[in-house]
Amino acid sequence: MKRTSTRLADGRELIYFDERDDTVRDAPDTRDLPERAKGAELRYDALTDDWVAVASHRLTRTFLPPADQCPLCPSKPGRPSEIPAESYDVVVFENRFPSFSTDADLHSDPVADPFGRRAGVGRCEVVCFTSDHNTAFANLTEDRVRTVMAAWVDRTLELNDTDGVEQVFCFENRGEEIGVTLHHPHGQIYAYPYVTPRTTQMLASVAKYKDGTGGRNLFEDLVEGERNAKVRVVAETDHWVAFVPDAARWPVEVNLAPLRRVPDLPSLTEEERDDFGPLYLRILNGLDRYFDKTLPYIAAWHQAPVRTGREDFGAYLQVYSVRRAPDKLKYLAGSESGMGAWVNDIAPETIAARLREVL
């Protein structure tokens, strides 16, 4: 694989991940772009100990353009896009409408009082999985998934080493029901200037479990428990297991975890990275057969923070959908949205049985 870094017209970085080592990437970005956005303002919620990004500039981001105006497709004569090339394998570039930015003030005061403010330090990137607009991740080749994995690893390593970044999150949103604004197959990477609430909660649970069990690891025991119970396991390979979590929140939900606990994607061996693609493609194709129609989903990589809890964290991929029936969606109503208290209409064992059937 060949990695080539270049700059777009407004100074944002773009990185090509090419599967041929002899590929040349020298086409310039010829667009006349406005000054790049500097990210959000972060406001502190003292009641929940969370940060909220206020990013008003994102209101103007591109929203469901027609295919011939897609900014993620390769550039064509007379129609330049975000990628100044006639074709590409995998591309990563800085988001034009970021929630976090390396241009923000790194030294802003993190918490001054219950109304604390700080700059949205960090980085937001777009990951284009293919130059083909009319396909999906589930249709990629195993080799292409390996290239995407290489891009995730590359970005996690570099962003973990970026000043002000505390956690890196690789994810994909698919489907208008999820809120996708561009149909081209792509994902995103957020480099946060804080440890996210979900991860903070998991780390607290892991520490509590470790103290209460004489040093046992919660991630390892959960994976081993699911493998022993078998009833929620969907599929397993030499290095990975896919299972529906025992307390699944979503009407369709599956986790993919390496059998060997690692804190993040860069910690995977070459064999583990190679083994991921075939299983993930099986799962994604099965998900589209779950209701016999294209399934909207979020695929979220949970990785250890940069400086906290790395020795006990276990990285895994969570894939879940808001679709609860062929013609119905799950909405986060009063209990979930107001109180964070979840109710799932479908038993996790039923979800797993259906996934095994469609696989």
* pLDDT score recorded for residue 341: 97
Query: Which parts of the chain sit beneath pLDDT 70?
Result: 108-112
Are 117 and 160 in the same domain? yes
Q: Are 266 and 155 in contact (CB under 8 A)?
A: no
d(CA 15, CA 7): 8
* pLDDT score recorded for residue 39: 76
Domain of 230: which CATH number?
A: 3.30.428.10
Nearest to 193 by CA among 315, 93, 107, 114: 107
Active-site annotation holds for 107: no
Are 280 and 203 in the same domain? yes
* pLDDT score recorded for residue 110: 66
Stretch (H or E) spanning 41: strand 41-45
The number of folded domains in the chain is 2
Are 35 and 183 in the same domain? yes
Which residues, 6+ apart, have CB-to-CB distance to 338 below 8 Å? none
Among 107, 133, 183, 186, the one annotated catalytic: 186
Both structure tokens of 95: 């988001």
Q: Specify the 3-state DSSP secondary structure of 310.
A: coil
* pLDDT score recorded for residue 311: 97
> Pick from 149, 179, 194: which residue ends a domain?
194
Are 31 and 171 in the same domain? yes
> Pick from 176, 194, 212: which residue ends a domain?
194
Q: How many contiguous H segments (helices) and E segments (strands) does the chain have?
A: 6, 16
Which residue matches tokens 């259906």?
354
* pLDDT score recorded for residue 112: 64
Are 100 and 180 in the same domain? yes
Are 208 and 351 in the same domain? yes
* pLDDT score recorded for residue 111: 67
Q: What is the DSSP string of 59-127?
A: GGS--S--GGG-TTSBPBTTB--SB-SS--SEEEEE-SS-SSBTTS-TTS-S-SSTT-EEE-BSEEEEE
Both structure tokens of 105: 């003030």
Are 205 and 225 in the same domain? yes
Are 113 and 87 in the same domain? yes
Stretch (H or E) spanning 253: strand 252-258
Q: Are 357 and 287 in contact (CB under 8 A)?
A: no
d(CA 88, CA 66): 20
Both structure tokens of 319: 């894939």
Q: Hey, which residues does 79 pair with through a beta bridge?
A: 76
Owning domain of residue 219: 199-358
> Pick from 154, 178, 194: which residue ends a domain?
194
